[in-house]
Structure 1
Amino acid sequence: MHPARLWLGLLLPAAAALDFRYHHQEGMEAYLKSVAQNYSSFTQLHSIGKSVRGRNLWVLVVGRFPREHKVGIPEFKYVANMHGDETVGRELLLHLIDYLVTKHGRDPEITNLINSTRIHIMPSMNPDGFEAVKKPDCYYSNGRENFNQYDLNRNFPDAFEYNNVSRQPETLAIMKWLKTETFVLSANLHGGALVASYPFDNGAQATGALFSRSLTPDDDVFQHLAHTYASRNPNMTKGDQCKNKMNFPNGITNGYSWYPLQGGMQDYNYIWGQCFEITLELSCCKYPREEKLPYFWNDNKASLIEYIKQAHLGIKGQVFDQSGNRLPNVIVEVQDRKHICPFRTNIFGEYYLLLLPGSYTINVTAPGHDSQLTKVVIPERSQTFGALKKDFHLPFQVQLDSLQLVNPLCPMVPLYKTIPGHSPITKPSLFLFLVTLLHIFFK
């Protein structure tokens, strides 16, 4: 071996060994702590809370600035094992961590991804459920729920119906976490099917529920996100690999079209957290045998990496007033895709809008002032790690104290209950309308 290579090998931290098996809480913690110690310059390990039984909800952050948010660097997250008996995602995220930290500094693409994105990885949201599974099963076990027997993916506030269930510690930890970070993009990893599902999971007339779907104002982006993941997974993209399950064209589905659910996490992320989240069903069997894990990793590795890159879609920047003050709590949205909880700037006056290439009119509205409309063109960008940067300088001075008094959070109530009709994005075509009428008359 060349002497220079030998010295380089001695200087780089040793990779923590990670084999393809199921890691229980003690083993998972040991691995995460070893990564945080060996790669301390670009990782940080912390707990966002505890489960009912007091187990830590660990998150490993990977990024150039792992300990704090930096303006212009989007926050991304993966969350797995929300249902304790759905285990593939838990192990895939551990292997994703291993892949990222061992490729950093060696693989230019991974190095650029880490330097330009702050990546948060939570291998297990429901460690109590995972530990409760006595015998692995492909279909269902008592470990699905948390220790208090609550399904965590039915435990969040719901924008369509009252969801007066007891909020669980794991749920409250996620809700608090969303308030502390400017998350832009997310995915939660499940099992029991093979499909990428996108919001909404619940619905109302205003979102197209009368036509067996429930679409967000950003439906084009969500379909792109789901397709980005599914198209790189050779089995998911086929859409029909699970026996006795639905067929999903191209491996994607609208959540409500599949089956409605109340209190889901992806809807909560989008409506109250300004974070685009999709649900990834990664295995027909919820808790497959350990020897299958390498195959799942091979099927999902490219998808997991490519999906993180999507945090750099669209446009980002800051909003300033005439005096150059950064303005928090200012609404920044595309004019024709208003969110029921308006997307606002963070404490740094910073915004992120995930958008596909195209021409848009951006609405910037500071409290007490008229809206400022600006046309922007988002160009085609491939293999880059940066959204279009566009700062907005408002032609007036804003009292910063007045911005602090504005409560940017929407109430935790069914926001869609009082909205009749359809927004343009959810308005069905005449063909779909006629098909629906025929279905009603001839049912």
Structure 2
Amino acid sequence: MLVFTLCLYLWSWLSSIHGLEFRYHNSVEMEQYLKDINRTYPEITHLHSIGQSVEGRELWVLILGQHPREHRTGIPEFKYVGNMHGNEVVGRVLLLQLIDYLTSRYLKDPLVTRMLNSSRVHILPSMNPDGFESSARDCIYAVGRYNKNGVDLNRNFPDAFESNEEEREKEVRAVMDWLKTETFVLSANLHGGAVVASYPYDNSNKGSELQGGKSISPDDDVFFHLARTYSFSHTEMHNGDSCTDFVGTEFVDGITNGYHWYPLSGGMQDYNYVWAQCLELTLEISCCKFPPEKQLPGLWEANRPALLAYMQQVHLGVKGVVMDSYGKPVQNAVVEVAGRKNLCPFRTDRNGEYYRLLLPGNYTITVTYPGHKTLTQTIKVPYGPDSFSALTHNFLLQQSDKSSTVSPSPQYCTTPHLENTATGLMMNNSTPLLPSVITALTLFILQRLLQS
């Protein structure tokens, strides 16, 4: 008996050394794991809840980065969301494995170290813990898909193309409120039941966005690139092989426009893109929704390089600060890229920052802000992910002799969660930017010197 006990202790000790066990952790175990990670790596992690499920389970988010507790100038915010459908469980497992991978390799692996030093990564392993707890271990059937109220969370967000005014579920409201607190730049939500990277739009009102059976967004070229980045970094997805349920469905290069696959109203990825200025993909990462645990290591190895490569794409394009004539960062300046008429214009956040994911090339950018002259500049954007930094380009505005106004957002942009109804201005509840005034004055002086 003593020998057996010693062997069991040794096995447990070895398992802890070699990382997180490949199995399905229930909600209590997942919470304990996240708290343990936060205690073990307090310098690079911050754990918080963004809300609760219908049954009162916390929606835990772990933030990883060099400064996990606060936003810093020029450091883009990235997020992964898993287990939105409770019975699609592989994403939940992989995101816990990703947390283990990133924390254990920080300052040891150059790629991981540069990733966490140059971006702030938010991971919500389970958006639907109630559904997970009620799920049946089945590849196909939908037991556990919905939340406790029987609602599909990926049909419950406000939709840009059609009215869906039903009550928002607690989990959906939590995510909507979460999007107020950070200016997320890039995101993905992980699903199961297919192997493909799907990109916006998911819906259409059969307007000009509908082209050749696809619902095309103004940033279609960027979405296409992002989807291919994940697909071709995955060991199999780029082959375009269909799962049994989708025989006859062709996923060329392992990617698809969401609407072209099947129209979807109230989806989370369209909501992120239209109202939160965050480009998001839906990643279908396993044919079987709830596969046997023995398959989990293989699924991790297939997706691990893709998860890392996709995170690195947060450094595409251009970023910077918009300042008024006194060198003070301004909120709600409209930053528009010529040829990309977004349904809701991209605006600076409370720190005066903007981020635009763009492929390499020349772009004309126009900045408008009340009381200031419209500023238009053409810039050359290089490929940023290899250097872990998008191009930094700040805009210094000049006061106008005449009063000027910024064109109001279309009616469907004035959603309560993003707008101050008294002023019509976008709100952002992030921690105040550090540094702020000194940074702004320095940028102001440098830009004046360059112009002289």
* TM-score, normalization by structure 1: 0.86
Kept in 2, the 8 Å contact 1:364–1:372? The answer is yes
Partners of 2:259 and 2:411 lie apart in 1 by 27
- Aligned partners of 1:261 and 1:47: how far apart in 2? 28
Higher mean C-alpha deviation, range 210-219 or range 40-49: 210-219
2:346 is aligned to 343
- In 1, the alpha carbon distance for the partners of 2:410 and 2:105 equals 42
> Deviation of residue 222 (structure 1)?
0.2
Does the CA-based 8 Å contact 1:358-1:377 persist in structure 2?
Answer: yes
Report the AA paired with residue 188 of structure 1.
N
Q: Which residue in the other structure is 2:234 paired with?
A: 233
Name the counterpart of 1:331: 334
**What is the aligned partner in structure 1 of residue 116 from structure 2?**
114
Q: What amino acid maps onto 2:273 in structure 1?
A: Y
Q: Distance in 1 between matches of 2:200 and 2:372?
A: 32
SS of the residue corresponding to residue 102 of structure 1 reads helix
1:283 aligns with 2:289: no
2:125 to 120, 123, 126: 123
Match of 1:7 in 2: none
Provide, for residues 113-138 of structure 1, a one-character-per-residue CA deviation record: whole Å limited to 9, x for no partner. Answer: 001100000000000000011x3111
Aligned residues: 396
Structure 2 alignment gaps of length 5 or more: 1-15, 417-452
Q: 1:406 to 1:16 in 2, by over 3 A?
A: farther
Given the superposition, is the C-alpha separation of residues 392 and 138 from structure 1 closer, same or farther in structure 2, using an over 3 Å criterion? same
* 1:220 equivalent in structure 2: 221
Q: Which amino acid aligns with 1:201?
A: D
- The answer to whether residue 362 in structure 2 is matched with residue 359 in structure 1 is yes
What residue is the counterpart of 2:267 in the other structure? 264
Distance of 1:263 and 1:65 partners within structure 2: 34
When residues 231 and 310 of structure 1 are mapped into structure 2, their CA distance, relative to the original with a 3 A threshold, is: same
User: Is the 8 Å Cα contact of residues 15 and 102 (structure 1) preserved in structure 2?
Assistant: no
Write the distance in 1 (CA, Å) between the matches of 2:143 and 2:311.
32
Q: C-alpha root-mean-square deviation of aligned residues, in Å?
A: 2.2
Report the Cα offset of residue 67 of structure 1.
0.5
Q: How far is the alpha carbon of 1:141 from its aligned partner? A: 2.6
For residues 307 and 155 of structure 1, the distance between their equivalents in structure 2, rounded to whole angstroms, comes to 26
Opposite residue 347 of structure 1, the aligned amino acid is: R
> 1:363-419: per-residue Cα shift (whole Å, max 9, x none)?
1011354531100001244521100000000122799xx99x999992349xxxxxx
Matched, 1:104 2:79: no
> d(CA) in 1 for partners of 2:90 and 2:250?
21
1:173-188 equivalences under 5 Å are 173-188=174-189
Give the Cα separation in 2 of the matches to 1:154 and 1:300.
26
- Give the drift of 1:206: 3.1
8 A contact 1:186–1:278 mirrored in 2: yes
Q: What CA distance in whole angstroms lies between the structure 1 residues aligned with 2:401 and 2:355?
A: 21
State the one-letter code of the partner of 2:29: G
Which amino acid in structure 1 is aligned with residue 380 of structure 2? V
Alignment match of 1:62 (pick from 37, 61, 64): 64
Counterpart code for 2:250: N
2:317 aligned with 1:317, yes or no?
no
Q: 1:74 aligns with which of 73, 76, 80?
A: 76
TM-score, structure 2 normalization? 0.84
CA distance in structure 2 between the aligned counterparts of 1:408 and 1:326, rounded to whole angstroms: 27
Specify the SS of the correspondent of 1:201: coil
Match of 2:386, SS? coil
1:15 & 1:72 partners in 2: Cα distance? 35
SS at match of 1:226: helix
What does residue 44 of structure 2 align with? Answer: 42
Preserved CA contact (<8 Å) 1:189 1:280: yes
2:210 is aligned to: 209
Alpha carbons 2:204, 2:259 under 8 Å: kept: yes
The aligned residue for residue 27 of structure 2 is 25
Counterpart residue number, 1:139: 140
2:72 is equivalent to residue 93 of structure 1: no
Deviation at 1:336, TM superposition (A): 1.4
Q: CA deviation at 1:181?
A: 0.3
**Contact residue 20 and residue 294 of structure 1 kept, 8 A:** yes
Q: 1:16 to 1:124 in 2, by over 3 A?
A: farther
From 401, 413, 438, the counterpart of 1:410:
413
- Once the two structures are TM-superposed, the CA of residue 315 in structure 1 deviates from its matched residue by 0.2
Change (3 A) 1:397 1:23: farther
Q: Is the 8 A contact 1:233 1:302 kept in 2?
A: yes
Q: Distance between the aligned counterparts of 2:301 and 2:271, measured in 1?
A: 31
Distance change >3 Å, CA 381–CA 406, structure 1 → 2: closer
Does residue 377 in structure 1 map to residue 380 in structure 2?
A: yes
Would the alpha carbon gap of residues 341 and 32 (structure 1) be closer, same or farther in structure 2, given more than 3 Å must change?
same
Q: How far apart are 1:208 and its partner, in Å?
A: 3.4
Once the two structures are TM-superposed, the CA of residue 210 in structure 1 deviates from its matched residue by 5.9
Instruction: Work out whether residues 183 and 275 of structure 1, in 8 Å CA contact, stay in contact via their aligned partners in 2.
Output: yes
